[in-house]
A and B are shown apart, each in its own frame.
Chain A
Amino acid sequence: GDSVTQMEGPVTLSEEAFLTINCTYTATGYPSLFWYVQYPGEGLQLLLKATKADDKGSNKGFEATYRKETTSFHLEKGSVQVSDSAVYFCALREIQGAQKLVFGQGTRLTINP
Protein backbone atom coordinates (compact mmCIF):
# COMPACT_ATOMS: atom_id res chain seq x y z
CA GLY A 1 0.00 0.00 0.00
CA ASP A 2 0.85 3.68 -0.06
CA SER A 3 3.38 4.90 2.49
CA VAL A 4 5.18 8.04 3.68
CA THR A 5 8.68 8.14 5.10
CA GLN A 6 9.64 11.19 7.06
CA MET A 7 12.90 12.45 8.46
CA GLU A 8 13.38 11.17 11.97
CA GLY A 9 13.47 13.61 14.81
CA PRO A 10 13.72 15.28 17.08
CA VAL A 11 15.22 18.32 15.38
CA THR A 12 16.59 21.22 17.40
CA LEU A 13 17.58 24.50 15.79
CA SER A 14 18.38 28.03 16.82
CA GLU A 15 16.07 30.89 15.93
CA GLU A 16 16.57 32.22 12.37
CA ALA A 17 18.17 28.97 11.20
CA PHE A 18 17.18 27.31 7.92
CA LEU A 19 14.87 24.33 8.23
CA THR A 20 14.47 21.27 6.04
CA ILE A 21 12.37 18.25 6.99
CA ASN A 22 12.62 15.48 4.41
CA CYS A 23 9.61 13.51 3.23
CA THR A 24 9.39 10.83 0.56
CA TYR A 25 6.43 8.72 -0.46
CA THR A 26 5.44 5.55 -2.26
CA ALA A 27 2.05 5.61 -3.91
CA THR A 28 -0.17 4.41 -6.69
CA GLY A 29 -0.71 7.24 -9.11
CA TYR A 30 -0.20 10.85 -8.16
CA PRO A 31 -1.76 11.59 -4.79
CA SER A 32 -2.19 15.00 -3.20
CA LEU A 33 0.50 15.74 -0.63
CA PHE A 34 0.20 17.58 2.66
CA TRP A 35 2.11 18.90 5.63
CA TYR A 36 0.22 19.02 8.91
CA VAL A 37 1.39 20.67 12.12
CA GLN A 38 0.53 19.90 15.72
CA TYR A 39 1.42 22.69 18.12
CA PRO A 40 1.78 21.83 21.82
CA GLY A 41 -1.62 21.21 23.36
CA GLU A 42 -3.46 21.79 20.09
CA GLY A 43 -5.09 19.69 17.40
CA LEU A 44 -3.72 18.77 14.00
CA GLN A 45 -3.81 21.62 11.49
CA LEU A 46 -3.18 21.68 7.77
CA LEU A 47 -0.04 23.71 7.07
CA LEU A 48 0.19 23.43 3.29
CA LYS A 49 -0.64 21.16 0.38
CA ALA A 50 0.15 20.42 -3.26
CA THR A 51 -2.15 18.53 -5.58
CA LYS A 52 0.00 17.84 -8.63
CA ALA A 53 3.59 17.49 -9.76
CA ASP A 54 5.72 20.66 -9.57
CA ASP A 55 3.10 22.43 -7.44
CA LYS A 56 4.53 24.42 -4.56
CA GLY A 57 2.52 24.71 -1.37
CA SER A 58 3.28 27.58 0.97
CA ASN A 59 2.00 29.04 4.21
CA LYS A 60 3.45 30.98 7.17
CA GLY A 61 6.87 31.10 5.48
CA PHE A 62 6.97 27.33 4.97
CA GLU A 63 7.24 25.84 1.48
CA ALA A 64 7.21 22.38 -0.06
CA THR A 65 7.39 21.35 -3.72
CA TYR A 66 5.77 18.21 -5.15
CA ARG A 67 8.64 16.38 -6.88
CA LYS A 68 7.34 13.47 -8.93
CA GLU A 69 10.78 12.41 -10.14
CA THR A 70 12.13 11.91 -6.63
CA THR A 71 8.73 11.16 -5.00
CA SER A 72 9.50 13.81 -2.40
CA PHE A 73 7.77 16.70 -0.65
CA HIS A 74 10.40 18.26 1.61
CA LEU A 75 9.34 21.03 4.00
CA GLU A 76 11.53 24.16 4.14
CA LYS A 77 11.59 27.47 5.91
CA GLY A 78 14.27 30.10 5.54
CA SER A 79 14.26 31.51 9.07
CA VAL A 80 12.53 29.64 11.87
CA GLN A 81 11.03 31.20 14.97
CA VAL A 82 10.47 29.88 18.48
CA SER A 83 6.76 29.77 17.69
CA ASP A 84 7.43 27.15 14.97
CA SER A 85 8.20 24.58 17.66
CA ALA A 86 5.74 21.75 17.00
CA VAL A 87 5.40 18.26 15.53
CA TYR A 88 5.22 18.19 11.73
CA PHE A 89 3.58 15.39 9.76
CA CYS A 90 3.92 14.68 6.06
CA ALA A 91 0.93 12.92 4.50
CA LEU A 92 -0.57 11.82 1.22
CA ARG A 93 -4.19 11.33 0.31
CA GLU A 94 -4.91 8.07 -1.47
CA ILE A 95 -6.47 8.52 -4.87
CA GLN A 96 -8.91 5.61 -4.58
CA GLY A 97 -11.61 4.45 -2.23
CA ALA A 98 -11.92 6.39 1.02
CA GLN A 99 -9.12 8.75 -0.01
CA LYS A 100 -7.80 8.41 3.49
CA LEU A 101 -4.70 10.23 4.62
CA VAL A 102 -1.51 8.20 5.04
CA PHE A 103 0.90 9.85 7.46
CA GLY A 104 4.60 9.78 8.16
CA GLN A 105 5.69 9.22 11.73
CA GLY A 106 6.12 12.92 12.53
CA THR A 107 9.11 15.13 13.27
CA ARG A 108 9.33 17.05 16.52
CA LEU A 109 10.90 20.45 15.95
CA THR A 110 12.24 22.59 18.79
CA ILE A 111 13.50 26.12 18.15
CA ASN A 112 15.71 27.69 20.78
CA PRO A 113 15.93 31.48 21.18
Chain B
Amino acid sequence: GAGVSQSPSNKVTEKGKDVELRCDPISGHTALYWYRQRLGQGLEFLIYFQGNSAPDKSGLPSDRFSAERTGESVSTLTIQRTQQEDSAVYLCASSLDRYYEQYFGPGTRLTVT
Protein backbone atom coordinates (compact mmCIF):
# COMPACT_ATOMS: atom_id res chain seq x y z
CA GLY B 1 0.00 0.00 0.00
CA ALA B 2 0.92 3.65 -0.13
CA GLY B 3 3.48 4.87 2.33
CA VAL B 4 3.73 8.20 4.11
CA SER B 5 3.86 11.05 1.64
CA GLN B 6 5.03 14.62 2.17
CA SER B 7 4.83 17.76 0.11
CA PRO B 8 6.55 19.74 -1.14
CA SER B 9 9.74 17.72 -1.43
CA ASN B 10 11.78 20.92 -1.54
CA LYS B 11 10.95 24.44 -0.43
CA VAL B 12 13.10 27.53 -0.70
CA THR B 13 11.79 30.60 1.06
CA GLU B 14 12.98 34.01 2.06
CA LYS B 15 13.63 34.85 5.67
CA GLY B 16 10.50 36.19 7.31
CA LYS B 17 8.01 34.34 5.09
CA ASP B 18 5.57 31.72 6.36
CA VAL B 19 5.71 28.14 5.07
CA GLU B 20 3.32 25.21 5.29
CA LEU B 21 4.45 21.60 5.04
CA ARG B 22 2.06 18.72 4.47
CA CYS B 23 2.07 15.09 5.57
CA ASP B 24 -0.26 12.31 4.39
CA PRO B 25 0.01 9.37 6.78
CA ILE B 26 -0.61 5.75 5.96
CA SER B 27 -4.34 5.08 5.98
CA GLY B 28 -5.52 3.76 9.34
CA HIS B 29 -2.54 5.04 11.28
CA THR B 30 -3.75 6.93 14.31
CA ALA B 31 -0.38 8.24 15.48
CA LEU B 32 1.55 10.90 13.57
CA TYR B 33 4.91 12.46 14.42
CA TRP B 34 6.90 15.37 13.04
CA TYR B 35 10.69 15.40 13.34
CA ARG B 36 13.37 17.83 12.17
CA GLN B 37 16.78 16.83 10.82
CA ARG B 38 19.36 19.56 10.69
CA LEU B 39 22.40 19.10 8.50
CA GLY B 40 24.76 16.50 9.95
CA GLN B 41 22.58 15.87 12.98
CA GLY B 42 20.08 13.32 14.16
CA LEU B 43 16.35 13.77 14.13
CA GLU B 44 14.68 15.96 16.73
CA PHE B 45 11.09 15.36 17.80
CA LEU B 46 8.72 18.25 17.18
CA ILE B 47 5.11 17.17 17.78
CA TYR B 48 2.91 14.08 18.15
CA PHE B 49 -0.75 13.50 17.32
CA GLN B 50 -2.78 10.52 18.49
CA GLY B 51 -6.32 10.33 17.14
CA ASN B 52 -8.46 13.09 18.61
CA SER B 53 -6.36 13.51 21.76
CA ALA B 54 -4.55 16.75 22.54
CA PRO B 55 -1.22 16.78 20.71
CA ASP B 56 2.14 16.58 22.47
CA LYS B 57 3.81 19.82 21.42
CA SER B 58 6.78 19.53 23.76
CA GLY B 59 9.36 19.47 20.95
CA LEU B 60 8.30 22.61 19.11
CA PRO B 61 11.30 24.97 19.28
CA SER B 62 9.38 28.25 19.37
CA ASP B 63 5.90 29.74 19.07
CA ARG B 64 6.59 30.34 15.37
CA PHE B 65 6.00 26.60 14.87
CA SER B 66 2.52 25.10 14.88
CA ALA B 67 0.86 21.99 13.51
CA GLU B 68 -2.63 20.70 12.92
CA ARG B 69 -4.20 17.37 12.23
CA THR B 70 -7.88 16.66 11.81
CA GLY B 71 -8.75 13.21 13.13
CA GLU B 72 -6.56 10.57 11.52
CA SER B 73 -5.95 12.41 8.27
CA VAL B 74 -3.51 14.89 6.82
CA SER B 75 -1.27 17.01 9.02
CA THR B 76 0.22 20.39 8.26
CA LEU B 77 3.25 21.95 9.95
CA THR B 78 3.38 25.72 9.73
CA ILE B 79 6.45 27.85 10.38
CA GLN B 80 5.80 31.56 10.65
CA ARG B 81 8.39 34.28 10.04
CA THR B 82 11.00 31.75 8.98
CA GLN B 83 14.61 32.15 10.12
CA GLN B 84 17.78 30.73 8.61
CA GLU B 85 18.13 28.32 11.52
CA ASP B 86 14.84 26.73 10.43
CA SER B 87 16.62 25.29 7.38
CA ALA B 88 16.40 21.52 7.75
CA VAL B 89 14.68 18.41 6.48
CA TYR B 90 11.27 18.00 8.10
CA LEU B 91 10.20 14.39 8.39
CA CYS B 92 6.80 12.99 9.15
CA ALA B 93 6.16 9.49 10.49
CA SER B 94 2.98 7.56 11.18
CA SER B 95 2.18 4.37 13.08
CA LEU B 96 -0.88 2.27 13.90
CA ASP B 97 -0.63 3.79 17.33
CA ARG B 98 2.24 4.94 19.53
CA TYR B 99 3.25 1.37 20.47
CA TYR B 100 3.91 0.30 16.87
CA GLU B 101 6.67 0.88 14.35
CA GLN B 102 6.92 4.38 12.90
CA TYR B 103 7.05 4.65 9.11
CA PHE B 104 8.79 7.71 7.74
CA GLY B 105 7.97 9.86 4.77
CA PRO B 106 10.64 11.13 2.35
CA GLY B 107 10.79 14.53 4.04
CA THR B 108 10.58 18.15 2.98
CA ARG B 109 13.88 19.95 2.59
CA LEU B 110 13.37 23.55 3.71
CA THR B 111 15.95 26.19 2.83
CA VAL B 112 15.56 29.69 4.24
CA THR B 113 17.61 32.30 2.38
Residues of A at the B interface (CB closer than 8 Å) are 4, 6, 42-46, 49, 89, 91, 97-106
Contact A101 B102 (CB under 8 A): yes
Shortest CB distance B110–A (Å): 16
Band of interface residues on B: 20 to 34
In Å, the complex CA distance between A42 and B89 comes to 12
In Å, the complex CA distance between A105 and B50 comes to 26
Shortest CB distance B39–A (Å): 11
Q: Mark B31-50, 1 if CB is under 8 A from A, else 0.
A: 00101000011111100101
Contact A99 B98 (CB under 8 A): yes
Contact A105 B40 (CB under 8 A): yes
Given contacts A43-B107, A98-B48, A101-B102, contact A106 B33 (CB under 8 A): no
Contact B42 A104 (CB under 8 A): yes
Shortest CB distance A105–B (Å): 5
The dominant DSSP class at the A interface is strand
Contact B101 A46 (CB under 8 A): yes
Chain A contacts for B59, CB-based, 8 A: 100
CB of B104 closer than 8 Å to a CB of A: yes
In Å, the complex CA distance between A100 and B95 comes to 11
Contact B33 A100 (CB under 8 A): yes
Contact B42 A103 (CB under 8 A): yes
Given contacts A44-B91, A46-B101, contact A97 B42 (CB under 8 A): no
Chain B contacts for A43, CB-based, 8 A: 91, 104-107
Given contacts A46-B101, A97-B56, contact A106 B48 (CB under 8 A): no
Contact B41 A106 (CB under 8 A): yes
**Which listed residue (A45, A99, A106) contacts B42, Cβ 8 A?**
A106
In Å, the complex CA distance between A25 and B29 comes to 28
**Which listed residue (A6, A45, A98, A103) contacts B43, Cβ 8 A?**
A103
In Å, the complex CA distance between A42 and B106 comes to 7
Contact B45 A102 (CB under 8 A): yes
Chain B contacts for A44, CB-based, 8 A: 43, 91, 104
Name which of A89, A97, A100 has the most chain B CB atoms within 10 A of its CB: A100
Shortest CB distance A22–B (Å): 15
